[in-house]
Structure formats: structure tokens, C-alpha cells
A and B are shown apart, each in its own frame.
Chain A
Amino acid sequence: MYYYIFDVRKCKNRRQIETIKDHLTDLGISGEFAVPDRIRPARDLAEQGVFKGYSTIVAIGADDLIDEVASVMLSKQQVFGVVPLGASENIYKIIGANTWEEAAVNLRYRRVTDTRVGIINEQHVFFSYCELALERPASVTVEFEDFVLQAKAKEFFIANQFPNFVKKFPDKLDVIMKSVDPKSTTLWGKLRKAIGVPGVTKDIDLTLVRTDGLRIFSPRQLQIKVDGRLAAKTPATFGISQKTIRLITKKSGNA
């Protein structure tokens, strides 16, 4: 019933590998384990698990493994489970667990949530959010379906699920940007900022747009990171999956 794709490199030692397997067995959800490598990457193993007829495919590892398996699970009837090891805080929040042990308990109770994911360049999947790596403000042009935005951005996020941020429109991406005065790098711009503009309140440099998809262009190439890992570079297109993943999350009342 359960097919585990286990990135053992994320375990502290060999003992932890056995601890995890024993814990799953104690919960009554043991199954077949497969370890991805260069010859058989996680994506191929996930396809294999589906082909073999397993009803639940589980990724045990960090964000890169989870995203890779998730890309296969889109629109599949099989259920997708996650046991985070060395994963970002976002993943833990999305599945409703604080530790890998709690995530394993979630697998047992099998509360399934239909979840959309974000997609970069129709290739890279992200569960939570991605960001432009901006060490200094950069000019960006953002193309939406009916309009175009231009700004000098100091922070730029595209969120499918932003932890601690209530998603009002589940079928849309949240595009969040903090912009700067294009002239702020000049001495005069800095002086204006230091003196201040009367009547201007804080945080009016925040932009928020909800969308199905967007494209980002920039004069200089910018890195796009997902959970701190390089995923793509501008120019890039972003969208939200029309298909969903049947993701196991925390069932209310779990011990």
C-alpha cells in the first residue's frame, strides 16, 4: 500500500534510517522502500511506484526530493505523503507537522487534501513559495494577463502557500513585492528619503496581486530560489497547477 522514496543522505546516521523504518512499521504503515540515485532519480521511482499499483507514494527527505516527487503526483489518483527530513519550515507547516515523527502519524490517519502547486517554466514545482534573490534592488517587469507592472524591487515573492498567511484565493498565486524609489540610489534620492515626504504612511511600498500566471523580465539576470535552492533564472514564467495533488495532511484530533 505504501511506497517510500527515501533519501537516506538526509539521515544523520545509519541508525536513524532503521529508526524511521521501525517507526513506520510500528504505526502499521510499512511498505516498499526505494532509494533514489543518479541512475534511478526520485521522479522515475515515483512513476514506478504508481505503475506497481501502490495507493500511497511517500517522499522521505528534503524539499528538493519532495518537489520532484510532487511533480509526478499531479493529477494522479494515488495519494502523496511527506515525511520531512532536513526540509524547510514551510513543508512542515503545509503538512501540519512539527517533526518527522508527527508527519509519520499523519500518514497513518490519512487526511487527504487536494493541493495545488506553483510551477516555474512548466518544469519546476514548488509547494510553498519562490523568491527572486535580490542582494540589491533590481528593475523588474512583470507581465500579467491584462496588465504589466514595472518597478524597482527590493523583495519579490511568488507564493502558492505562504506559511502564516491566509490564502484568500486557493486557485491563484500571490505575488508580493516591495518596491523602492527608482532614484533612491542617487545622492538626491537618498536625501529625499532621509528627509521624508510629509503625509506618506509606511508600507505603501507593498504590492500584492493575485493571478493564475505571470512572466518576469529583468535587465540583469536574476536568480529564482525555492526554499533557498536555485530553481531558475529570469526571464521566467510562473503558474499555478490546474491539476491537484492528493496530499496527506494533519487530521484534526491527531495525538
Chain B
Amino acid sequence: MENVDTIIGLNVNLKGNLKNQGSIQVNGSVEGEIRSDDNVNVGETAIIKGPVSAKVVEVSGMIKGLVEATEKLEINPTGKVIGDINVKTLIIKQGAIFVGKSTMPDQAGDAINTKEQKEEVEEIKPEK
């Protein structure tokens, strides 16, 4: 856990919005929004109820809420994410739990999350 700017320790309850606090390590409980331009690491003992938005989100505890990661979301074996996610890269390890809808930008940067959009792409292909 190097170069962490903010740490919420075990048995600490946070209510409110944790924003502009650099890279964040959570080991306690948070009710509210977490927003970082850097990384957010959710420890095994952490429980977060609320949206999480960061560059990289690594989950070993629990998040109940929307998760947005501009680079990567990694759910470790002890991790649980209950809620929708909007991430560029997704890693779900064996044993992890994810319940929700996943949205991922494609190479062009547009989100592909419906069957209709996939059919449009297939129709364009024969013309080429």
C-alpha cells in the first residue's frame, strides 16, 4: 500500500462524500460517494454503500453502488460488487461476486451495452 493519500481505517464509519483526496484505501465503512482522480483500493474489511469513481478500482471488500473506472476495475476473490459498473477494463477473479450491469467503452470509445447496437455493427460489415 504505497503512496496512499487517504486511508479510512478498520472500525471507522464515514458518512458523506470523499472527494479530491488523492489515492484512497478503505478498510472501514463508507456511506456516500467516493470520487478520486487516482486509485481506490477497497480492503477486505471495507463496506461501501454508494457510488465509487476512480482511475483504478480494486475491490477485496464490498461495494453496493455504481462503480466507474476510467482504466480498470479488479474484483479480487473476496470482493463483492453489487451494482452497475462502467469500466474500461474489467478483471473478475475466481471467487469474486458481481451482481449488476456492465458497460464498457469499445475501441472507438462508444459504450456497447445493447443487442441493437451490436446488430447495427453487423449490418455495416457486408457493405465493406
Complex Cα–Cα for A150 and B16 (A) = 12
Segment 45-64 of B: residues with Cβ below 8 Å from A? 45
Do B11 and A179 touch (CB < 8 A)?
yes
A179-214 interface bits toward B, Cβ cutoff 8 Å, 1 = contact, 0 = none:
111100000000000000101100011111110000
- Given A146-B19, A147-B32, A199-B78, are A208 and B14 also a contact pair (CB < 8 Å)? no
- Does B118 interact with chain A (Cβ within 8 Å)? no
- Does A230 interact with chain B (Cβ within 8 Å)? no
Give every chain B residue within 8 A of A179 (Cβ-Cβ).
9-12, 28
Do B6 and A210 touch (CB < 8 A)?
yes
Do B16 and A168 touch (CB < 8 A)?
no
- Does A152 interact with chain B (Cβ within 8 Å)? yes
Give every chain A residue within 8 A of B17 (Cβ-Cβ).
146-147
Complex Cα–Cα for A180 and B11 (A) = 6
- Does A226 interact with chain B (Cβ within 8 Å)? no
- CB < 8 Å: which of A144, A146, A200, A207 contacts B12? A207
- CB < 8 Å: which of B7, B21, B22, B78 contacts A206? B7
**How many residue-residue contacts, CB under 8 A, span A and B?**
74
Which interface residue of B8, B22, B44 has the most chain A CB atoms within 10 A?
B8
Complex Cα–Cα for A199 and B76 (A) = 13
Give every chain A residue within 8 A of B16 (Cβ-Cβ).
144, 146-148
- Does B79 interact with chain A (Cβ within 8 Å)? no
Q: How far is the CB of A146 from chain B (nearest CB, A)?
A: 5
Give every chain A residue within 8 A of B6 (Cβ-Cβ).
208-210
- Given A148-B14, A148-B16, are A204 and B78 also a contact pair (CB < 8 Å)? no
Give every chain A residue within 8 A of B19 (Cβ-Cβ).
146
Give every chain B residue within 8 A of A206 (Cβ-Cβ).
7, 9
Complex Cα–Cα for A104 and B13 (A) = 48
Closest B residue to A145 by CB, please name it. B16
Closest A residue to B3 by CB, please name it. A168
Give every chain B residue within 8 A of A147 (Cβ-Cβ).
14-18, 32
Closest A residue to B6 by CB, please name it. A209
- CB < 8 Å: which of A148, A180, A182, A199 contacts B15? A148
- Does B27 interact with chain A (Cβ within 8 Å)? yes
**Chain A interface mostly helix, strand, loop or mixed?**
strand
Do B5 and A146 touch (CB < 8 A)?
no
**How many residues of chain B get a CB closer than 8 Å to chain A's CBs?**
25
- Given A147-B32, A179-B10, A210-B21, are A204 and B45 also a contact pair (CB < 8 Å)? yes
Do A210 and B5 touch (CB < 8 A)?
yes
Segment 13-44 of B: residues with Cβ below 8 Å from A? 13-19, 21-22, 27-28, 32, 43-44
Do B13 and A207 touch (CB < 8 A)?
no
- Does A177 interact with chain B (Cβ within 8 Å)? yes
Do B13 and A150 touch (CB < 8 A)?
yes
Give every chain A residue within 8 A of B7 (Cβ-Cβ).
206-209
- Given A200-B45, A210-B6, are A205 and B15 also a contact pair (CB < 8 Å)? no
Which interface residue of A150, A177, A204, A207 has the most chain B CB atoms within 10 A?
A204
Give every chain A residue within 8 A of B78 (Cβ-Cβ).
199
Do A207 and B8 touch (CB < 8 A)?
yes
- Given A147-B32, A199-B78, A200-B44, are A207 and B18 also a contact pair (CB < 8 Å)? no
Complex Cα–Cα for A207 and B32 (A) = 17
Complex Cα–Cα for A182 and B12 (A) = 10
Complex Cα–Cα for A205 and B19 (A) = 21
| Further pairs besides A151-B13, A152-B11, A206-B7: 7, Cβ < 8 Å | A144-B16, A146-B17, A148-B16, A177-B9, A197-B45, A207-B7, A210-B5
